[in-house]
Amino acid sequence: MIYTYTGLAPWPATAIGRIREDREMTTRITADFAIVSWHEEIYDQPEEGSTLLQATIQKSYQGAVEGTSVARLLMVRAGDEGGEGYLGSERVTARLGERAGTFVIQHGGIASGDELFSFGHVVKDSGTGDLAGMSGTCAFRHDEQGAVFTLDYDLGP
C-alpha cells in the first residue's frame, strides 16, 4: 500500500492531516479530443494589469474515452508577452470500454514562456452509472500530433 498525505487547505479542519490510501491498481487510457465550441467573455479588464476571462467549452472525445463534455474555465492573460493560466471544472459524459456514465474533472495550468505547469484530477465520487466510485488523475496535451487526453483512474472496490 502507498499512503499519501492530503492535508491541503482550504478544506475543513476535519480533512487537514488526513491520510489517504492509494490503490496500486490504476488503469491508464488515452483518447483524442476536439473542441466543438468555445465561448469566452472578459469579466475584468483593468487599464493596467492582467485580463480575467471565463469560457464555456464543449469537447468530443474519441478512442478509449468515447463521449462529450462541457467545461467552465476561469482564465487570466497577463499581457502580450506575459503568462497565462486557467482553472476548469468539466463534466464528461462517456463510455470507457463497456462502462458508461459521467464524471467530473478539475484541471488547470499556468504557462510562462517555455515553462508549463498543469494538473488534473477526477473529483472523487462524482461518477455516475457504471463510473460511480471513480477517482484518478488526468492530463491534456496539445502538440504536433493533435490533442490528447490521458486518464489514470480507479473505480474502487
Assess whether pLDDT exceeds 60 at residue 24. Answer: no
Q: What pLDDT was estimated at residue 15?
A: 37
pLDDT given at position 33: 95
Q: Tell me, what CATH number does 130's domain have?
A: 2.40.350.10
Q: What mean pLDDT is predicted for residues 146-150?
A: 92
The amino acid present at 3, given as its one-letter code, is: Y
DSSP single-letter state for residue 129: G
User: Does residue 3 sit within a domain?
Assistant: no
Summarised one tens digit per residue, pLDDT across range 50-77 is 999 999 999 999 999 999 999 999 999 9
β-sheet bridge partners, residue 89: 72, 106
Instruction: Note down the domain range covering 59.
Output: 29-154
CB 92 within 8 A of CB 105: yes
Residue 1 covered by a domain: no
Respond yes or no on whether the N-terminal peptide bond of residue 10 is cis (omega within 30° of 0).
Answer: yes
Q: Cβ distance 131 to 116 under 8 Å? A: no
Instruction: Report the C-alpha gap between 27 and 97 in whole angstroms.
Output: 12
Mean pLDDT on 15-24: 42
Question: What per-residue confidence (pLDDT) applies to 126?
Answer: 96
* Within-domain flag for 17: no
The number of distinct structural domains making up the chain is 1
pLDDT, one tens digit per residue, over 75-125 is 999 877 778 999 999 999 999 999 999 999 999 999 888 888 899 999 999
Please, which residues bridge with residue 5 across strands? 19
Residue 109: inside a domain? yes
| 96: in domain | yes
Region of residue 126 (left: phi > 0; alpha: psi -120 to 50; beta: else): alpha
Q: State residue 25's pLDDT score.
A: 64
Q: What is the pLDDT of residue 79?
A: 75
134 SS3 class: coil
- Nearest alpha carbon to residue 109 among 139, 153, 69, 71: 139
123 in a structural domain:
yes
Q: How far apart are CA 144 and CA 146, in angstroms?
A: 6
Looking at residues 34-42, what average pLDDT do you find?
96
Does the pLDDT at position 2 exceed 60? no
User: Is 91 a domain residue?
Assistant: yes
Dihedral sign, CA of 57, 62, 68, 73? negative
In a domain, 23, yes or no: no
